[in-house]
Amino acid sequence: MKVSHISFGASSMGGVFREIDESKAIEAVHVAIDLGINYIDVAPAYGGTKAEFVLGKALKDIPRSSFYISTKVGKNTALESYGSDIFDYSREGIMRSLDASTQRTGVEYFDIVHLHDIEYNQGQHTEWALSEGLQVLQELKSDGRIGAVGIGMYPVDLWERVISEGGIDVGLSHNLYCLNDTRLEQLLPLARSKGIGMISASPFSSGLLTSRGAPQWHPANVEQRKKFAEAANICKEHGSEIEKLAIQFSTQNQDIITTMFSSADPDSVRRNLKWSTEPINEELLRLVRQILMPVSNQNWNY
C-alpha cells in the first residue's frame, strides 16, 4: 500500500468529540480525497456505529480504486454512551462485526482490519485478542477477504511485545507522536526490522492540543488540562494556533509514513493540509514543548 503522508480518521464522524453536521462530515471526506488523502480509517465503536454509517454515505459515489480503507473489530460501543464498550475477539464476533461494517460502509473489501483496543479493561481481553482474534484475521487475509492484518491500540510496552512477536502487517498507534509525546520514535526501528508499517494517529492528542480542549471523557485531570490550555494561549500570543503547531510537528517527521487526523469539518481538513506544508515556527515549538514538559510522555488511562 502506497499511502498518502497524511491520512483521514473517521472517529469525529461518530460524534465522539462533539455533535456533527452530517452533510459537512460527508463533505470533509470528499475534500480529503480531492486534496490527495488516499487512506481512511473507521471503526464500529466510533459513535456506536454512527461513523461507519456516515462514512458509507460519503463513499457512495467515490470510485473504490481512489482510496484504501480500514475498519476495526473486537470492540463496539453502545449508541447511547461513548465509552460503554463491549469486547468480542471471537471468530463469530469478528465475522459478524466485519459483515456489519460492510453493510454500513458499503465496502466489500477492507485493505486493513485492525483488532481494536486490545489493552482495555486492564488487559483482560489482551490474550484473547492476540490468540483467537489474530488467528481469525490472518485466515481472512489468507482467504483474500481482507488485505492486511493490523492492531489499533495505545500502550508502548504492549506495542513492543506485539511488534517483536510479529503476526501483523500494520500497527495503528494513537497519541504517541504529538507535541506532548514522542514515544513512537522508539518503536519505529523495531517495526521496520519486522516489516511492520506504523500509522501515527491523533496529532492533536485526542483534543488536548486544540483551543477548545479535550472532550469530557478524556482522562487528563484539571491540572493537566491547564498545561495544555497554557500552551494554546502561548500560540495565540504569537499570532498562531496550537492546532497548526500540532499538525506541523506530527507530519514533518519523515520517519513516520503517515499521520492520521480526524475531522468532520471540510474547512478543518483544508486548513490541516495547508498547515502541514508550511515551515514550523521553531521558537514557538520550543516554548510550547517546554510548557508541556510536565505532561510529556504521559500514560493516559484510556
Q: Which residue from 154, 172, 173, 166 is spatially nearest to 190, judged by alpha carbons?
A: 166
What is the identity of the amino acid at 153? M
User: Which stretches of 177-268 are assigned E, i.e. beta strand?
Assistant: 197-201, 258-262
Q: Say which of 46, 68, 89, 177 is annotated catalytic.
A: 46
C-alpha cell at 292: 508541556
Q: Which residue from 58, 49, 51 is spatially nearest to 26, judged by alpha carbons?
A: 58
Q: What is the DSSP string of 219-231?
A: ---HHHHHHHHHH
Backbone angles phi, psi at 300, to 5 degrees: -80, 140
Q: Which residue from 302, 113, 120 is spatially nearest to 206, judged by alpha carbons?
A: 302
Asked if 59 and 106 count as a contact pair (C-beta separation under 8 A), the reply is: yes
168, 196, 222, 237 from 69: Cα distances, Å: 17, 17, 37, 39
Asked if 118 and 152 count as a contact pair (C-beta separation under 8 A), the reply is: no
For the question of residue 302 being annotated catalytic, the response is no
Annotated active-site positions, please? 46
